[in-house]
């Protein structure tokens, strides 16, 4: 494992977030800040300001009145949601133009955004208050694939072929072929970025939700969101894919197939708008 692990570790550690995220993190970590401090930092970045206002005024949030200033956005959403939105846009900026010869990058991000929206909407259905954090979890949970295709493309492709041929979960085949799975790779990146332990834990446990682990509901929501995205990417019916869900995920979330079908329609309807906000260079895709 060591040689392959070294390759993905080196690749993961080469990826950095934009300075604006680190500056915001420094402000929030000081615990001595005001909402004005947060708003002022964002205003200093015209590109981020424009995207932030576009996002909060979109149907994705659905506010009745237009939000004209960053100050207003911060006061309405709160610092935590603003931080999560900055993190989401920072991820898009850091990785949106990432080149990968062996992976369809456009489809990768479509699937990632679908998963992110699903995680947010499912969080709302399960009364999880931190919807934007779940959006980020959905966006990041598959990022290990990107790193594996860049650093160990032969093994990444082999794992996908064998998973498709045998009908086995990809992460289990990755463990057999490479000695680790894409979530373990994503964990390197998240820890390098010093992301909150709560976010890292949710992503680390979402493949196999553990009823005794912290953040079980969050991990279970992300587990189901991944299945939403799989159905979308593989052009399969949602009920068929949801049959693969871990029983602990159903127990923790209290979700059912009918409710998931309704939520999936909402997710599909939001996809183009969110993709265009996060990845303006990406073309729309019909859903």
The pLDDT-based confidence of 61 (bands split at 50, 70, 90) is confident
Distances (CA, A) of 51 to 18, 22, 57, 73: 15, 18, 10, 12
Residue 88 to residue 278: CA distance in whole angstroms? 8
Distances (CA, A) of 116 to 19, 111, 200, 223: 23, 9, 15, 11
Per-residue pLDDT tens for 79-132? 889 999 999 999 998 888 888 888 899 999 999 999 999 999 999 999 998 889
Give the pLDDT of residue 287: 44
DSSP annotation of 13: H
The pLDDT-based confidence of 63 (bands split at 50, 70, 90) is confident
The torsion angle over the Cα atoms of residues 209, 210, 214 and 217, rounded to 10 degrees, is 40
Cβ atoms 186, 199 nearer than 8 A: no
Give the pLDDT of residue 256: 93
Residue 16 to residue 14: CA distance in whole angstroms? 6
Structural domains of the chain, with CATH: 2-278 (1.10.3210.10)
**pLDDT exceeding 90 applies to what percent of the chain?**
77
Q: Is the pLDDT at 40 greater than 90, yes or no?
A: yes
Higher pLDDT, 187 or 59: 187
Q: Largest alpha-carbon pair distance within the chain?
A: 55
Give the pLDDT of residue 158: 97
The pLDDT-based confidence of 281 (bands split at 50, 70, 90) is low
The torsion angle over the Cα atoms of residues 215, 219, 220 and 223, rounded to 10 degrees, is 180
Cβ atoms 148, 178 nearer than 8 A: yes
Instruction: Please state, as a whole number, how many other Cβ atoms lie within 10 Å of the Cβ of residue 6.
Output: 11
Q: Is the pLDDT at 283 greater than 80, yes or no?
A: no
Q: Is the pLDDT at 286 greater than 90, yes or no?
A: no
Question: HEC states along 238-252?
Answer: HHHHHCCCCHHHHHH
| Mean per-residue pLDDT, 192-212 | 93
Per-residue pLDDT tens for 139-176? 999 999 999 999 999 999 999 999 999 989 999 999 99
Give the pLDDT of residue 267: 96
| Mean per-residue pLDDT, 195-220 | 93
| Mean per-residue pLDDT, 43-69 | 89
Give the pLDDT of residue 32: 86
Give me 173's structure tokens: 């085949």
Q: At what angle do helices 131-140 and 216-234 cross, to 10 degrees?
A: 50
The answer to which of 180-189, 194-203, 274-283 has the lowest mean pLDDT is 274-283
Residue 147 to residue 15: CA distance in whole angstroms? 10
Question: HEC states along 259-286?
Answer: HHHHHHHHHHHHHHHHHHHHCCCCCCCC
Per-residue pLDDT tens for 209-237? 999 888 999 999 999 999 999 999 999 99
Residue 139 to residue 250: CA distance in whole angstroms? 22
Q: Is the dihedral of CA 272, 276, 278, 279 positive or negative?
A: positive
Residue 54 to residue 129: CA distance in whole angstroms? 22
For residue 218, with 0-12 CB atoms within 10 Å meaning exposed, 13-18 middle and 19 or more buried, which class applies? buried
Give the pLDDT of residue 129: 86
Give the pLDDT of residue 17: 92
Distances (CA, A) of 269 to 120, 221, 254, 285: 14, 20, 24, 11
Per-residue pLDDT tens for 87-98? 999 999 888 888
Q: Mean of the per-residue pLDDT values for the chain?
A: 92
The pLDDT-based confidence of 282 (bands split at 50, 70, 90) is low
Give the pLDDT of residue 96: 83
Instruction: Please state, as a whole number, how many other Cβ atoms lie within 10 Å of the Cβ of residue 13.
Output: 12
Give the pLDDT of residue 149: 95
């Amino acid at each position: 494992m060591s040689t392959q692990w070294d390759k993905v570790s080196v690749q993961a550690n080469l990826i950095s977030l934009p300075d604006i995220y680190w500056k915001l993190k420094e402000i929030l970590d000081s615990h001595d800040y005001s909402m004005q401090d947060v708003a002022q930092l964002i205003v200093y970045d015209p590109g981020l300001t424009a995207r932030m206002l576009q996002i909060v005024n979109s149907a994705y949030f659905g506010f009745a009145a237009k939000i004209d200033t960053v100050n207003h956005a911060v006061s309405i959403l709160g610092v935590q949601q603003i931080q999560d939105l900055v993190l989401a846009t920072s991820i898009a900026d850091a990785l949106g133009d990432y080149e990968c010869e062996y992976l369809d990058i456009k489809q990768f991000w479509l699937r990632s955004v679908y998963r992110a929206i699903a995680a947010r909407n499912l969080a709302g259905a399960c009364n999880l208050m931190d919807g934007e954090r779940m959006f980020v979890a959905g966006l990041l949970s598959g990022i290990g694939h990107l790193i594996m295709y860049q650093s160990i493309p032969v093994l990444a492709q082999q794992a996908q072929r064998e998973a498709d041929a045998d009908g086995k979960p990809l992460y289990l085949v990755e463990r057999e072929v490479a000695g680790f799975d894409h979530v373990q790779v994503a964990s390197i990146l998240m820890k390098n970025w010093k992301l909150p332990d709560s976010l890292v834990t949710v992503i680390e446990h979402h493949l196999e939700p553990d009823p005794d682990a912290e953040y079980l509901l969050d991990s279970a929501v992300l587990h189901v969101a991944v299945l939403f995205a799989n159905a979308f990417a593989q052009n399969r019916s949602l009920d068929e894919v949801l049959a693969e869900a871990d029983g602990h995920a159903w127990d923790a979330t209290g979700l059912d197939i009918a409710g998931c079908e309704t939520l999936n329609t909402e997710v599909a309807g939001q996809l183009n708008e969110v993709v265009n906000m996060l990845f303006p260079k990406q073309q729309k895709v019909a859903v």
